[in-house]
Amino acid sequence: FCERHPTGDNCLDCVERHPFQLDDEIRALVDDYRDDFQAELELATVVTAPSKALVDVIVRHHPNIDGRIRVLSHASIEDPPPKTAKAARQRDPKSPIRLVYWGALQPMKGVHLALEALLSLRERDAFSIDIWGTFDGQDPAWETRLRDLVDKLPAKLRGAFRPTDLPADSYDVAIFPSICLESWSFTVDEAWARGLPVIVPDRGAPAERLQGAGTTFAAESVDGLRLVLVEILKSRRCLETWRRAIRPPAPFWNHVQSWDLLYRDALATGPRTAQLDPRRAMHRAATLARSLSVRDKDSLHQRGRVQQEVDRAAHLDRELETRSVVIRAKDQVLDEFNRSLLSLAESVGTRDT
């Protein structure tokens, strides 16, 4: 999530726009978008978010909604951790600790942080890491950088995958070093369903959800992640401690019942029409009217330029025709001159004979 306060000036450099839209129009539209979103939140009878981390972000941008957002976790459709996972991981304590990452391969998901942290270790061979996922092709330089890091480590790029390609017993801990502020992270659910504790940044929903089933590192910090890996090497028993803290997901029906209660509450409360401010609609209409007026003026200007080019093209066509007539007349004179030369040559030849 972008943490800038949403204003026309703050968002001007990254908001998408059409080529014909000027800065002033974008500023006004961003401000209107923010105010419209604020109005929608205030009109909503019930507002929910899957995590307190997301609530904090929303309230930071929209303080008027503070105290009204209810945290309702996403439901999990994953099965409980397999009973065989613990037994399968009881192996040689000197063997490498097996890390795994799966998901999108793009800079914001931060998998490069994991590789850089491993590369910074003297004991890098004490770990191995499998990376599942495909590159999106949007950042070739980052892809090259990641492949170079993989080549220097006990690491493998596994490519595209299906959920069944991620065996529960092949790894010791999952690592999801996202740079984004994650609002939930379904990959954490997937890891826990496989009996895997997780290593996640210390911000966003994943850190909030841990409750001992993994650990955190300083977000975006290679050194912070390196320290976590060093601690794991010092005492591998922490992996088992984290693993024991994994809780089975709540029954899906519990989630359905929670939503049922929210819907009943919303129906009993009724719409918050008192929060509807007709001035918002009038202001929005005025902003759009100004945008249309600017567009109309620009359109008239462009039509005038087009007409100028059409007139210029017509003038060039006429000039071309005039010059063509002159050229044809000169060609006729040249043809007559050539015929005269031929006739003269024939006369000279006859006389010489």
What pLDDT score was predicted for residue 79?
A: 65
Confidence of residue 87 (pLDDT cuts 50, 70, 90): very low
What pLDDT score was predicted for residue 267?
A: 92
What stretches of 69-220 adopt beta strand conformation (E)?
Answer: 69-71, 97-102, 127-132, 155-159, 173-175, 198-201, 214-217
Average pLDDT score over residue span 257-281: 83
205 vs 29: CA distance, rounded Å? 31
CB 112 within 8 A of CB 153: no
**Cα 351 to the center of its chain, rounded Å:** 94
Q: What percent of the chain has pLDDT over 70?
A: 94
Q: 117: buried, middle or exposed (CB in 10 Å: 19+, 13-18, 0-12)?
A: buried
Higher pLDDT, 129 or 348: 129
Q: How many residues does the chain have?
A: 353
Of residues 120, 83, 118, the one with CA closest to residue 101 = 118
- Residue 160 tokens, joined: 């595209």
DSSP state of 66: T
To which residue do tokens 């030369």 refer? 341
To which residue do tokens 């609530």 refer? 55
Mean pLDDT of the chain, nearest integer: 88
- Residue 81 tokens, joined: 């951790």
Q: Bridge-partner residues for 215, per DSSP?
A: 199
Higher pLDDT, 292 or 27: 27
pLDDT in tens, 164-206: 888 778 899 999 999 999 999 999 999 999 999 999 999 999 9
Residue 86 has pLDDT above 60, yes or no: no
What pLDDT score was predicted for residue 280?
A: 72
* pTM (two decimals): 0.77
Average pLDDT score over residue span 5-21: 87
What pLDDT score was predicted for residue 1?
A: 63
